[in-house]
A and B are shown apart, each in its own frame.
Chain A
Amino acid sequence: MINTMECAVDAQSLISISLRKIHNSRTQRGGIKLHKNLLVSYVLRNARQVYMNEKYAEIYRMQQYEEVMTVCNEIQELNPLDLVEDCEEQTADCCGSANESASLCGALLPVSHQAPSVQHLQPSSACSVPLALQSEEVCKAPEPSFYRSCCAEAYPVSNCDFSPVNSMHCNKTTVLDLDTHVVTTVENGYLHQDCCASLQQCCQGAQSPAKKRKLDFGYYVSEIEEVPDFTPCKRAKFEDSSYASTEPLDTSNISNLISIFGSGFSGLVSRQADLEQALNGQFCSKQALASLGAWTRAIVAF
């Protein structure tokens, strides 16, 4: 357990500093220094641990809060049966209103012109029942933080601002409808809907970094269990000479990787990140953090 006064924000900057060092070491005279890069990878690993711990702690706190809120709301509840029917009939009253009041149901259920298939995104987990019960109530009293746990179940939902420095409440939640490719953002309790075109741009934008990183990991990584989204890459064999070799290492890929990591973390920290940047950043950072373990190990494979 790292006993440190640095909060998760410092962990993020340590991660980018470390990656920059690794990147720079490739162009240093005399070849890559194994010892130094090994030590940098330890810092990377430590920073990642702290960062992930903070993140999970926050998610846990949010979930606790949401559960408490759920219970509280249930106590004051109307006839549960009415609400369930409402939801099933796909009423979009609250969600399609001009006020665009927030509603988790609204996000999960079809919204005005949204296709009904969004419904299948609704998680079949336990939380869906109480949520269904809540819809109308929620419409009236939006709670941004309320959405997160269920949002998290849908794929590929990106998580909202993980800025641990600021409030624990989530300001932004984004849900992607896989069928209609509509991205729905709930911001500060207000529901926004982005057009398909911009979303597709975002999607493609999000895709290309992933593709590039696939290539990168093909170079460096033998094991990628931690990156379930990627198809298994060819196992890279490292011999003595290859440690010192810089030939298979493509600097353009590395610089993209670094910039991805950089934008990923800035996307997390920045509260003003617009949707596209946020989507890219969050998508990338999620992947980045998931793959950091592989990346950390890969560093020593220089």
Chain B
Amino acid sequence: MVSGAGGGGNDVQWCFSQVKGAIDDDVAEADIISTVEFNHSGELLATGDKGGRVVIFQQETENKSQPQCRSEYNVYSTFQSHEPEFDYLKSLEIEEKINKIRWLPQKNAAQFLLSTNDKTIKLWKISERDKRPEGYNLKEEDGRYRDATTITTLRVPVFRPMDLMVEASPRRVFANAHTYHINSISVNSDNETYLSADDLRINLWHLEITDRSFNIVDIKPANMEELTEVITAAEFHPHQCNTFVYSSSKGTIRLCDMRASALCDKHSKLFEEPEDPSNRSFFSEIISSISDVKFSHNGRYMMTRDYLSVKIWDLNMENRPVETYQVHEYLRSKLCSLYENDCIFDKFECCWNGNDSVVMTGSYNNFFRMLDRTQRRDVTLEASRESCKPRQVLKPRRVCAGGKRKKDEISVDSLDFNKKILHTAWHPQENIIAVATTNNLYIFQEKVN
């Protein structure tokens, strides 16, 4: 049952499907989810956490005879991707937290993904083993060698079925190319190269070659004291293998063409919206910093997320976004407190649905926002253990910014800023979304009538 449109159009009602993770309110820091990503078919869903672990969920193949039966995601593979390291030269500890996971398009039976922490990118192969060879002549079943003199007959070993085993093995390690903290990786549409971006530089890698990479963007100033902005996110265009974008802490996005020159310091396009001077505050620079940039699936638009809003840009128009959505404008008067408790530095991500008609991003109090571009409507939903009954429809939530609080509204001061949804992902084809709270992963699906 694929809706085809992947959302948009009619009103979609979202229902609870599953929740993964501990129920405990006491969150272990290592279990904090730091990235969520569907693979290209949507069959696999990967999460990375602060402890350096990757957990992959697989969608059960649907039971065709029971179309009402919802496909569930179950644990497919778990492995430790990164370990904490210590850089002795710089006396620095390198966190094992997984910053990003990106799937490679599937080429054969195995699945491949890239996972990265602050300094090192790894290519993992996830493969299934459901057969094993039996009937060796020289070995016993348990592996012990047989005494050759006791062998009187010969047989051909055969493969026999076994319980499915999913193995994850590191195939490549791309290390020592980044001085600063890696914030993004993006696989090119050519399926041969990928980029990795840190605060000041972007490097281009070949998936087969680990001992060198090409630096394609370098914004480090000659004198570090002249530093005014850093790179916050980068992504390849979904179809044009020569094009990529990177966003900055100043709220600008630069589109670069690798055909223009080896070093893409000069952008081909600069996307920037002039600041509204009436909104100027102590924190203007912080809230204009872009935390995520994502191309639409069709490659015509890109979306950026800053602290308070989501903007949709047409790649052909540089001077302003075509659409701007306020995520939680009621926080604008609270910026001082959010600065004190560090929440203003939270990096929210955003994502497109399959047909680019709806975008989604997270907020506080475990709220997340769905912004329908075609209908110009938006809804706030909550990922909460209280709405965990199977197929329970999520009720829209409303925040009362000021004045009299209506029934069912929640006031700004009651919001829990420790419960934040930074990472969300949308199935590439169906209306299935994965929403990560601090240490739980919620899966919601479209209500099926």
Contacts and interface: CB of A to CB of B under 8 A. Distances in A.
A50 B282 contact: yes
Contacts of B97: 30
Contacts of A50: 282
A4 B281 contact: yes
A222 B282 CA distance: 26
Contact of A42 (B87, B286, B342): B286
B280 interface: yes
A116 B232 CA distance: 64
A38 B227 contact: yes
Contact of B118 (A3, A30, A47): A30
Identify whether the interface residues of A are mostly helix, strand, loop, or mixed: helix
Interface in B305-348: 336, 339-340, 342, 345
Contact of B280 (A3, A34, A238, A246): A3
Given A2-B281, A3-B277, A34 B92 contact: no
A69 to B, nearest CB: 36
Contact of B339 (A1, A17, A35, A238): A17
Interface in A22-49: 29-31, 33-36, 38-39, 42-43, 46-47
Nearest to A46: B282
Contacts of A2: 280-282
Contact of A34 (B93, B181, B283): B181
Nearest to A43: B282
B94 interface: yes
B308 to A, nearest CB: 15
B230 A14 contact: no
B259 interface: no
Given A43-B283, A301-B224, A301-B225, A38 B339 contact: no
A82 interface: no
Contacts of B285: 39, 42-43, 46
A36 B92 contact: no
A39 B289 contact: yes
A270 interface: no
B91 interface: yes
A222 B223 contact: yes
A34 B95 CA distance: 15
Interface string B200-237: 10000000000000000000100111111110100000
B249 interface: yes
A244 B280 contact: no
A14 B282 CA distance: 9
Sort chain B's interface into a size bin.
35 or more
Nearest to B285: A42
A300 B223 CA distance: 10
Contacts of B228: 38
A243 B224 contact: yes
B156 interface: no
Given A33-B181, A34-B180, A243-B179, A300 B225 contact: yes
A214 interface: no
B95 A4 contact: no
B232 A35 contact: yes
Given A10-B336, A39-B249, A39-B285, A241 B90 contact: yes
A46 B281 CA distance: 8
Contacts of A255: none
Nearest to A35: B230
Contacts of B282: 2, 4, 6, 11, 14, 43, 46-47, 50
A274 interface: no
Interface in B223-257: 223-230, 232, 249
B278 interface: yes
B339 A43 contact: yes
Contacts of A10: 336
A36 B230 CA distance: 10
B356 interface: no
A222 B227 CA distance: 14
Nearest to A294: B225
B281 A3 contact: yes
B336 A6 contact: yes
B430 interface: no
Interface in B266-284: 277-284
A298 B225 contact: yes
A298 B336 CA distance: 24
A88 interface: no
Given A6-B282, A36-B345, A240-B220, 8 more contacts: A3-B279, A30-B181, A38-B228, A39-B285, A222-B225, A223-B225, A241-B179, A298-B225
7 smallest beta-carbon distances between A and B, as pairs: A42-B285, A30-B95, A297-B225, A300-B227, A31-B92, A240-B179, A46-B282
